[in-house]
């Protein structure tokens, strides 16, 4: 038999799914595991969004629809971008997708060839690096440092820009660190991209999940007409991870090409799910506000709790719902500590190294769990520390 394509050895999965499987293995044996691994809000999808989907299905709105997205959802997205980013893109600048993730895949397929360099933060959402390797692109991972609150620094981007650089991937608020780039840094990065003729993929999936700062998009500079692609979606803000709904806003010529990728790969995004998306954008935002109020309380609880564990120290995340404690003083690798927490304390989190080499020495806790569960987890981790000394 001939070999499978070599690119398949360059593409990788996600640590979150690996640790979920480990935790589920323990649960099958009867263990009680507290879950902090998956980046998924623990709230139900708001009722009015579900009702919009029920209505669409009952009206038999269940067939194929336009590959790039239905006109009324695109119109809702145009208004949403105007409200939240300050400019109204054309309908031809929008591509509706089944989740945000295909937006990363398609943008990179459309823009990046073997040998092109892609700059992106390290640690980061694992899909970026996986696709860089899959496409045989030059890996331009830029370390984000705890001293800079894990923010990507435009000065570091500037140093790394070469003639080969094709794309800069930004993600603010960021997974896994919860960092938020300042408006000045985002603007400076957009200006660098303009000067060097480089594209930006701005992954803004956590754009509605900020605790202190206001949201800013680097797309404000070119209104997503020349080089900036905004990636956003419904999974996190509206608790819709399983629905699979996201979108890209970008230069019309690139969007048109990616619509052809949609036709080849997926035909279209589920019709009734798109109707639910309209209800999410146009309906009440009350559930989102309540969810963020809960995340704010949980953030306080987990940051306080993690800082009480000997050998751990944790900054307060500025956005998203991830705590990223430094565990370097334990003297163990992040995988060793994550495994210990799972097998000795029954607490499942992710090793920072699952997000790139820059994540070594850290853990990621997705605090999509109640304050009670957070406190229980902290208590269990403390107990797993012998005599409450340094965790070893």
Q: Is 233 in the site for ligand PLP (CB under 6 A)?
A: yes
Least distance in angstroms from the C-beta of 195 to ligand PLP:
26
Q: Which residue do the tokens 């031809």 mark?
A: 92
Q: Compute the distance between CA of residue 127 and CA of residue 120 in angstroms, rounded to an integer.
A: 11
Burial of 306 by CB count in 10 Å (0-12 exposed, 13-18 middle, 19+ buried)? buried
Residue 60, Cβ density class (10 Å: 0-12 exposed, 13-18 middle, ≥19 buried): exposed
- Taking residue 118's Cβ as centre, other Cβ atoms within 10 Å add up to 26
Instruction: Please tell me whether residue 251 binds ligand PLP under the rule CB under 6 A.
Output: no
State CA 99 to chain mean position distance: 11
In the complex, what is the shortest distance from the CB of residue 6 to ligand PLP, in angstroms, rounded to a whole number?
Answer: 26
Q: Which of residues 115-144 bind ligand PLP (CB under 6 A)?
A: 125
Question: Is 169 in contact with 175 (CB distance < 8 Å)?
Answer: no
Q: Which stretch binds ligand PLP (CB under 6 A): 17-25, 98-106, 276-284, 361-369?
A: 98-106
Residue 46 tokens read as 């708001």
Q: Looking at beta carbons, which residue is closest to ligand PLP?
A: 99
Per-residue binder mask for ligand PLP (CB under 6 A), 28-47, x = binder: -----------x--------
Cis peptide before 176 (omega within 30 of 0): yes
Task: Provide the mask over 54-93, with x wherever binding to ligand PLP is found by CB under 6 A and - wherever it is not.
Answer: ----------------------------------------
DSSP string computed for 176-230: TT-----HHHHHHHHHHHHHHT-EEEEE-TTTT-BSSSPP--GGGTTTTSSSEEE
Smallest separation (angstroms) from ligand PLP to the CB of 204: 9
Q: In this chain, which of 12, 84, 241, 370 binds ligand PLP, going by CB under 6 A?
A: 241
Which residue lies nearer to ligand PLP by CB, 255 or 345? 255
The window from 82-90, 96-104, 269-277, 283-291 that contacts ligand PLP (CB under 6 A) reads 96-104
174 vs 271, beta carbon nearer ligand PLP = 174
Q: Measured from the CB of residue 245, what is the shortest distance to ligand PLP in angstroms?
A: 7
What DSSP assignment string belongs to 79-127? HHHHHHHSS---GGGEEEESSSHHHHHHHHHHH--TT-EEEEEES--HH
Of 68, 140, 246, 351, the residue at the interface with ligand PLP (CB under 6 A) is 246
- Which positions touch ligand PLP (CB under 6 A)? 39, 99-101, 125, 171, 175, 203, 205, 233, 235, 241, 246
């Amino acid at each position: 038999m001939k070999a499978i394509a070599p690119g398949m050895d360059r593409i990788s999965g996600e640590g979150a799914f690996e640790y979920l499987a480990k935790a589920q293995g323990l649960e099958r044996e009867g263990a009680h595991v507290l879950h902090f691994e998956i980046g998924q809000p623990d709230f139900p999808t708001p009722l009015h969004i579900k009702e919009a989907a029920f209505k669409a299905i009952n009206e038999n709105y269940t067939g194929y629809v336009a590959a790039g997205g239905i006109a009324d959802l695109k119109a809702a997205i145009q208004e949403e971008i105007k409200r939240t980013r300050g400019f109204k893109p054309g309908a031809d600048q929008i591509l509706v997708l089944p989740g945000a993730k295909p937006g990363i895949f398609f943008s990179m397929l459309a823009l990046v060839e073997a040998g092109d360099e892609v700059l992106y933060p390290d640690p980061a959402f694992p899909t970026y690096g996986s696709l860089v390797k899959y496409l045989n692109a030059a890996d331009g991972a830029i370390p984000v440092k705890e001293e800079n609150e894990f923010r990507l620094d435009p000065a570091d981007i500037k140093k790394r820009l070469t003639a080969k650089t094709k794309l800069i991937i930004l993600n603010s608020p960021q997974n896994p660190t919860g960092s938020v780039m300042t408006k000045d840094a985002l603007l400076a990065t957009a200006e660098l991209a303009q000067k060097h003729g480089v594209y930006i993929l701005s992954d803004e999936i956590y754009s509605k999940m900020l605790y202190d700062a206001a949201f800013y998009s680097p797309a404000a500079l070119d209104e997503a007409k020349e080089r900036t692609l905004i990636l956003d979606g419904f999974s996190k803000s509206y608790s819709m991870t399983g629905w699979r709904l996201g979108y890209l806003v970008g230069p019309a010529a690139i969007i048109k090409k990616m619509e052809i990728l949609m036709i080849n790969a997926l035909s279209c995004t589920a019709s009734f799910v798109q109707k639910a998306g309209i209800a999410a954008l146009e309906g009440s935002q009350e559930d989102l506000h309540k969810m963020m109020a809960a995340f704010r309380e949980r953030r306080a609880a987990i940051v306080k709790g993690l800082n009480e564990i000997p050998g751990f120290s944790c900054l307060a995340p500025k956005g998203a719902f991830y705590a990223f404690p430094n565990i370097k003083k334990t003297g163990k690798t992040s995988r060793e500590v994550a495994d210990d927490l799972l097998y000795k304390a029954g607490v499942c989190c992710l090793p920072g190294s699952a997000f790139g080499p820059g994540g070594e020495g850290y853990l990621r806790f997705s605090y999509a769990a109640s304050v009670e569960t957070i406190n229980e987890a902290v208590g269990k981790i403390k107990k797993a520390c012998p005599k409450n000394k340094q965790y070893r």
